[in-house]
Amino acid sequence: MAKADPDRVLRDLYMLREVGRFKTGVHRPTLSPDDMQTREWLAGELRAIGHEATIDGIANVYGKAPGDGPHLLCGSHIESQNEAGWLDGALGVVYALEAARACAEDPDLTGKSGVDVMAFADEEGHFSGGFIGSQSFVGDLSDARIEELEDRSGRGSLRHCLDQAGLAGRPRLQIERDRYKGFLEAHIEQGDWLESQGLGIGVVTSIVAIWQYAVRFEGTQNHAGTTRMAIRRDAGRALMEFWRRIEEEFPNAAAERSVWTVGGVTLDPGAPSIIPGGAEMLFQFRDADPEVLNRLKSLLESLVQEANDRGPCPCSLEVLGENTPAVMAPELQAALTASAQEITPGNHALMPSGAGHDAQLLARVMPSAMLFVPSIGGISHHWSEDTSDADIALGAQVYVDAVSRLLKGT
Amino acid sequence: MAKADPDRVLRDLYMLREVGRFKTGVHRPTLSPDDMQTREWLAGELRAIGHEATIDGIANVYGKAPGDGPHLLCGSHIESQNEAGWLDGALGVVYALEAARACAEDPDLTGKSGVDVMAFADEEGHFSGGFIGSQSFVGDLSDARIEELEDRSGRGSLRHCLDQAGLAGRPRLQIERDRYKGFLEAHIEQGDWLESQGLGIGVVTSIVAIWQYAVRFEGTQNHAGTTRMAIRRDAGRALMEFWRRIEEEFPNAAAERSVWTVGGVTLDPGAPSIIPGGAEMLFQFRDADPEVLNRLKSLLESLVQEANDRGPCPCSLEVLGENTPAVMAPELQAALTASAQEITPGNHALMPSGAGHDAQLLARVMPSAMLFVPSIGGISHHWSEDTSDADIALGAQVYVDAVSRLLKGT
């Protein structure tokens, strides 16, 4: 069996942590010099084990193993959120690289079957909605869409940033579906569920859907000193009342693992002496069950109706996104479970993913699965994000063992 | 008696409306080319009636009437809020100009007593807290403070904008207190109280105090998909609960004319998929009675205590400002009331000002008073702000009559 070398995995992850280091985490926005340095590094490591490696026109790094036998596609993203953690993305790329190395070293596989490695571009959404690398690879990103995208932190258009990174004119690679048995992505859990259960390995059953909305209230902007309380149409206050009703009612309609979040609030104009004439809330909820999603949507709509009945500020709902849950492939889940049970018995569980991942795009075109390792304190998207070395090592062993099982059909 | 010429008043106001016109209002930020054009115009009009007129080093326009007898200081500000109304400020300047003209035309007064005219700079606070013109004139603005101020819309420092406007190196004028019987400022009400009472003239008894706070909540920033509801420390949600309690409790502690406003809310980082780790609310209340102000402050502090007892997000209160109400001079109120009663009997009332005005700074150093005209629909700080021509004309007549009374001691 191909086996992981945990020391090699930890060495690579610690090395990547130094590129764009921020406190104990990293700051590697997509297409930044630090991000491109890690992509070039990955391509070099892949070439060193005989892969044909390229960085394509959207900054996906693709390393194709030699041989025309059955392969697995393995990977994740390599850029980070701004001033964020060292493992979100990088872990899944380094596990994939380790699996590719282990297969290359396995006399039963080398030159025939193996692991093609992907480091997708901008899963984290520095340019709008995220996932542009995996979207591009599965044929779901148009050239026209690329022209629309802008960096959220003011670095300019995606096209400009691609040019600056030296990727102008490169073709965008498309997946060869027939080459693969499936796609495998490892990731930190980003929640505290594994930790709270005292478990080391999560096998993902599905990736939850995110349903996201802008809720807007229209009031009358006026002077905060001269406008009597009785005649105010305060859009901010209307938003607060709506928010209060969400927090009252959602617990009654939600399922055990449903989550909902008011992530942003804007009062217009937002000045201390002006009664807000407009107010906007960014609201989302997540669940893996379409029935629950529909129930929560109905509740949201009824709260909008209630707000309009209550007055005095008209309330409107804009759908920003309503995707479908991505179900993970049973045969890949089974391989991950079997490897976990053999290597670390009783230390794993099936679980949904509350976060979105590139695997949800790949699941549209071929069998896909994910392995989770615990996040200390459930923290992610923050520089203090961490996972113990022991859990990182164990995850790599299970991951590579499952890859070996799948390629050898054992 | 010196008398107002309503046609002249309306002509000047309509002319000013064309400088920096925005829809039916104006956009004349302090020290913008349009703002400076109106200041130059005013200085020219003042020189035309024999005043010694200057624009000083903070952009105050000061026109000194000939003669060493008793004078009144009259005026307001001339810049506007961004994309705001045509009368907020300009009305009080044009009334003052009209009073100066009427006195200059009155054989009993001309060359002896009269009206000095002020157009203060930046009452509207394009550069931080506002009132810098009147602060400077009463000796309450240091050079060091000027160096700190920055334009809120990104035009750079106050010093830079003064240089651009050609005011570098000019001295800042200081009030000659002994020259004046008092200060008089006319203004639109900016509320709907006069309109709701069917009245044409408001005589201001005091300018309310504004007590202003930042209320902050500290949570734990985390991923909105992977963090279970039960373990969240959502700073935004804590802010919402606090806001709800404000709206529940303030009506019980407030006086009839108290007002309170949540003008701004910021969730940090404010992204749809991130649970806010921090939240800040800008909150203010206003009243003319120090006892009521103290009662509301106590309530606010008790709500902060309650939020900290409730948890899980620590709540803190920062005082941004707690000024004192400015009482208007009885003898000036009496003159305005007498003139109103003579010109338009039964059409006036005493009232507090819910908005801050330059008169509150002048009231620190000499007797000061204000006259209000109605605002249609109570709208201000918006381009649709308006007052009928008839009300503008009536206000000018009462204003100039009161000036004449005060100068002649009748």
Contact A272 B284 (CB under 8 A): yes
**Distance of alpha carbon B54 from the chain centroid:** 23
Cα separation, A282 vs A260, in Å, equals 11
Which region holds residue A273: left if phi is over 0, alpha if psi is between -120 and 50, else beta? alpha
Cβ–Cβ below 8 Å for B244 and A240: yes
pLDDT of residue B1: 77
Q: State the maximum Cα–Cα separation within chain B, in Å, rounded to a whole number.
A: 83
Q: What DSSP assignment string belongs to B313-349?
A: S-EEEEEEEE---EEPPHHHHHHHHHHHHHHSTT-EE
Check pLDDT > 90 for residue A381.
no
Contacts of B35 (CB under 8 A, 6+ apart): B20, B28, B29, B59, B78, B79
From chain A, the residues in CB contact with B193 under 8 A are 226, 228
Residues of B in contact with A226 (CB under 8 A): 189-191, 193, 353-355, 375, 378, 380
Q: How many contacts does A have with B, using Cβ atoms within 8 A?
A: 199
pLDDT above 70 coverage of chain A, percent: 100
- Among A211, A213, A227, A245, the strongest candidate for a mutation testing the B interface, having the largest count of B CBs within 10 A, is A227
Q: Residues B79, B122: contact at Cβ < 8 Å?
A: yes
pLDDT tens digit at each of 410 positions of chain B: 789 999 999 999 999 999 999 999 999 999 999 999 999 999 999 999 999 999 999 999 999 999 999 999 999 999 999 999 999 999 999 999 999 999 999 999 999 999 999 999 999 999 977 899 999 999 999 999 999 999 989 999 999 999 999 999 999 999 999 999 999 999 999 999 999 999 999 999 999 999 999 999 999 998 999 999 999 999 999 999 999 999 999 999 999 999 999 999 999 999 888 999 999 999 999 999 999 999 999 999 999 999 999 999 999 999 999 999 999 999 999 999 999 999 999 999 999 999 999 999 999 999 999 999 999 999 888 899 999 999 999 999 999 999 999 999 87
d(CA A6, CA A277): 58
Q: Does A390 have pLDDT greater than 80?
A: yes
- Inspect the interface and report whether the beta carbons of A271 and B259 lie closer than 8 Å: no
- Give B210's contacts in chain A (Cβ within 8 Å): 225, 273
CA–CA separation, B237 vs B404, rounded Å?
58
Rounded to an integer, the average pLDDT of A31-59 is 98
Q: What pTM value is reported for the model? A: 0.83
In which residue are the tokens 């009839």 written? Answer: B256
**Nearest-CA distance from B291 to chain A in Å?**
18
Calculate ∠ Cα A331-A333-A337, nearest 5°.
115
pLDDT score recorded for residue A409 = 87
pLDDT band at A130 (very low <50, low <70, confident <90, very high): confident
User: CA-to-CA distance for B50 and B64, rounded, in angstroms?
Assistant: 9
